[in-house]
């Protein structure tokens, strides 16, 4: 069990060390029964955010979750960006952000998500988007949940405007495509790492429960043995006393 986990960890570190891939972080959180916790990450224009989560302990190993994105609506053209600070119309557009749901999970043990923020060509303003992940344990009455999750980023393709060589541009694009493939592989590898960690915790919990059960059984057998010993001892004493009484009468 330990060797696959070590292998996955080494592969994960190697993959996320590639250019354009940045590990935001891995986290573990305890969500009490009836509570809800949210986490937000900023995603630059054109960048991709990868997200994995896994319930490692608590109750039935499940939780509700929702992922949303908050972004600024697209402008009509890039030329209008310079007016964003000087006209009321574009100032309202800039400040009036929209929120959309990316995915929801109901009573889920694990989940995964990839989100790419609108590029500069799409939004015409290049403002970043926000991705918010909320874990909801409000359906649980007593049991808290322990959740492990991780986020990683793949930066947007950036081509030097001073580059005039078509070969250089094609090379940058090809490297970016390879980096995106490796980013997806790194995300999947991280999901396997979380699954291995959850399995390890489950195995530890199962072993602890079995050990407690065996201890209770041994204690029960010990108490039963003592009770039987005392009962047999009293019974033998009574038989011996009765035998002595019968012998004396004779």
Higher pLDDT, 82 or 180: 180
Paired strand residues for 170: none
Angle of the 2-16 helix axis to the 166-249 helix axis, nearest 10: 160
* pLDDT surpasses 90 at 102: yes
DSSP 82-101: GGTTT-HHHHHHHH--EEEE
Do residues 107 and 63 lie in contact, with contact meaning Cβ atoms separated by under 8 Å?
yes
Phi, psi of 80, rounded to the nearest 5 degrees: -80, -10
The domain ranges of the chain are: 2-204
| pTM score over 0.95 | no
DSSP 160-175: -TT---HHHHHHHHHH
b/e string for 167-187 if b means 16 or more Cβ within 10 A?
eeeeeeeeebeebbebbeebb
- Per-residue pLDDT reduced to its tens digit, 132-173: 999 999 998 888 998 988 888 887 766 655 555 666 666 666
CATH architecture of 2-204: Sandwich (2.60)
- Per-residue pLDDT reduced to its tens digit, 25-78: 778 889 999 999 999 999 988 888 988 998 988 888 899 999 999 988 887 776
């Amino acid at each position: 069990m330990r060797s696959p986990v070590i292998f996955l960890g080494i592969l994960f570190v190697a993959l996320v060390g590639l250019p354009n891939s940045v590990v935001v972080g891995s986290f573990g959180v305890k969500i009490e029964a009836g509570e809800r916790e949210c986490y937000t990450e900023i995603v630059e224009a054109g960048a991709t955010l990868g997200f994995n989560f896994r319930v490692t302990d608590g109750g039935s190993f499940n939780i509700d979750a929702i992922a949303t994105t908050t972004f600024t609506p697209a402008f009509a053209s890039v030329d209008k960006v310079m007016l964003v600070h000087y006209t009321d119309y574009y100032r309202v557009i800039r400040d009036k952000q929209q929120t959309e749901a990316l995915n929801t999970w109901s009573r889920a043990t694990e989940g995964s998500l990839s989100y790419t923020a609108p590029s500069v060509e799409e939004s015409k303003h290049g403002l970043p988007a926000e991705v918010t992940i909320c874990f909801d344990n409000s359906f649980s009455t007593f049991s808290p949940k322990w959740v492990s999750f991780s986020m990683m980023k793949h930066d947007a393709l950036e081509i030097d405007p001073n580059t005039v060589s078509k070969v250089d541009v094609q090379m940058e694009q090809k490297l970016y495509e390879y980096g995106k493939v490796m980013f997806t592989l790194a995300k999947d590898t991280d999901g396997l790492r979380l699954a291995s960690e959850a399995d390890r915790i489950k195995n530890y919990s199962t072993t602890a429960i079995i050990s407690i059960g065996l201890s209770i059984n041994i204690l029960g057998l010990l108490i039963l043995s003592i009770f039987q010993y005392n009962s047999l001892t009293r019974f033998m004493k009574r038989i011996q006393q009765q035998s002595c009484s019968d012998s004396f009468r004779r």
